[in-house]
Structure 1
Amino acid sequence: MQQPAVPELAHTQTRPIHWVATATAVAGVVALSPLLQPHQATAAQATGSETKPGPAAVAPPDPTGVAFPLDCGPVKTVVQKKATGDLDGDGRPETAVVVHCDAPMGTPPDGVYVLTRAAGSAEPRVVATLVDPKDRLTVSEFAVRDGAVLATLLGYSTADVPSCCPDVTDRATWQWKNGAFLRSTPAGAHSV
Structure 2
Amino acid sequence: MQPSAGPDLPHTRVRLAHWIATGVALAAVLGLSAVFQPPDASARPEGAGPAAAPDPAKARFSVDCPGKSADSARSGPAVDILDKGAADFDGDGRAETVALVRCHSGIGTPPSGIFVVAHPTEAGGRPQVVETLMPTGEDMSAQDFQVGPQGHGTVSARLLGYSSPEVPRCCPDQAREVKWEWRDGKFVLVPSPVAGSV
**Same fold by TM (over 0.5)?**
yes
**Offset of residue 119 of structure 1:** 6.2
The answer to whether structure 1 residue 155 and structure 2 residue 148 are counterparts is no
Alignment map for 1:48-127 (pairs within 5 Å): 55-75=48-68, 76-118=78-120, 121-122=123-124, 123-127=126-130
Q: Which 4+ runs in 1 deviate beyond 6 A?
A: none
Partners of 1:41 and 1:100 lie apart in 2 by 51
Partner AA of 2:195 in structure 1:
H
| 1:190 shift after superposition | 2.5
After TM superposition, give the deviation of residue 67 of structure 1 in Å. Answer: 1.1
> Normalising by the residue count of structure 1, what TM-score does the alignment of the two structures yield?
0.68
- Which residue is equivalent to 2:145? 142
What is the CA deviation profile of residues 125-169 of structure 1, one whole-angstrom value per residue up to 9, with x for unaligned ones?
A: 000111111111111111111211111111112222111111111
Shift of 1:170: 1.0
Can you give the 5+ residue segments of structure 1 that lack an aligned partner in the other structure?
A: 1-37, 43-50
Partner SS state of residue 58, structure 2: coil
Task: Report sequence identity in percent.
Answer: 36
Query: Quick check: 1:165 aligned with 2:171?
Result: yes
Q: Which is higher, the Rg of structure 1 or of structure 2?
A: 1
TM-score w.r.t. the length of structure 2 is 0.66
Displacement of 1:52 in angstroms is 7.0
Q: Is the 8 A contact 1:87 1:175 kept in 2?
A: no
SS at match of 1:106: coil
After TM superposition, give the deviation of residue 80 of structure 1 in Å.
Answer: 1.0
> CA–CA distance in 2 between the matches of 1:52 and 1:100?
40
- For the 8 Å contact 1:89–1:147, the answer to whether it is kept is no
CA contact (8 A) 2:58 2:127 kept: no
Aligned-CA RMSD value:
2.3
Contact 2:50 2:93 in 1 (8 A): no
Instruction: Give 5+ residue unaligned stretches, structure 2.
Output: 1-30, 36-42, 69-77
Q: Number of aligned pairs?
A: 146
Asked if the contact 2:144/2:158 (under 8 Å) is kept, the reply is yes
Separation (CA, whole Å) in 1 of partners of 2:181 and 2:92: 14
- Checking the alignment, whether the CA contact within 8 Å between 1:63 and 1:124 is kept in structure 2 is yes
What is the letter of the counterpart of residue 89 of structure 1?
A: G
